[in-house]
Chain A
């Protein structure tokens, strides 16, 4: 089992550009959440996808959008990049939306640098 896989591992973009990050959940998982981890900070919840719909959203602007595909993989899109978007972006997957009986697994993240 490959666990949660994220691509790419590193990315450098210019301010104002758009970026797409990808996440494949662990086998058997159908719920994907995205987190932003700025340097020296804890991860902050961006949004969560289940059954191809956004179910929960944190305090992030509309520049941050996402998608979940029928195979449960997910994309995070960020438009009009700002220098402050530079961070490690983590994907977490788990099974089901209700109940907390299953463990959430995290990918190793995508390090985004905006210059």
Chain B
């Protein structure tokens, strides 16, 4: 069965500190992995995606993520958090030939302290 686990429901960091959001997945086929961000009252915006190749992927807003097949993980990182990064972050998994069908985690809420 396909599933995505985000173990951290809520994280608080100080502005300028580094950030790592955890994501573990379970998927029967070759996974395609995504991180989305959702601000209050907004839809989802794609931060980055991994299909194949280099396991370290760069995204928008200074985010990056590393795919580790042996750990079934796809953790999101940012070296220096800005106050505007406060939002809800979702990890998602999809597959070839399923278009925009994704399985999402329950999300991690990020609070940034000035």
Whether A103 contacts B43 by the Cβ 8 Å rule is no
For A32, the chain B residues whose CB sits under 8 A away are: 100
Residues in A19-40 with C-beta less than 8 Å from chain B: 31-33, 35, 40
Mark the stretch among B13-21, B64-72, B79-87, B104-112 that contacts chain A. Answer: B104-112
User: Of all chain B residues, which has the CB nearest A50?
Assistant: B99
For A114, the chain B residues whose CB sits under 8 A away are: none
Report the minimal beta-carbon distance from A18 to chain B, rounded to whole angstroms: 24
Residues in A49-92 with C-beta less than 8 Å from chain B: 50, 55-56, 58, 90, 92
Whether A100 sits at the interface, judged by CB under 8 Å, is yes
User: Of all chain A residues, which has the CB nearest B36?
Assistant: A106
For B106, the chain A residues whose CB sits under 8 A away are: 40-42
Whether B102 sits at the interface, judged by CB under 8 Å, is yes
Selected from B90, B99, B104, the residue in CB contact (under 8 A) with A98 is B99
Whether A56 contacts B43 by the Cβ 8 Å rule is no
User: Of all chain A residues, which has the CB nearest B98?
Assistant: A56
**Chain B window 13-43, contacts with chain A (Cβ cutoff 8 Å), 1 for yes, 0 for no:** 0000000000000000000100010000111
Whether B43 contacts A108 by the Cβ 8 Å rule is yes
A98 and B97 CA atoms in complex are apart in Å by 4
Whether B103 sits at the interface, judged by CB under 8 Å, is yes
Whether A97 contacts B97 by the Cβ 8 Å rule is yes
**Chain A contact residues, CB within 8 Å of chain B:** 4, 31-33, 35, 40-45, 48, 50, 55-56, 58, 90, 92-94, 96-101, 103-109
**Chain B contact residues, CB within 8 Å of chain A:** 4, 6, 32, 36, 41-46, 49, 51, 90, 92, 94-107
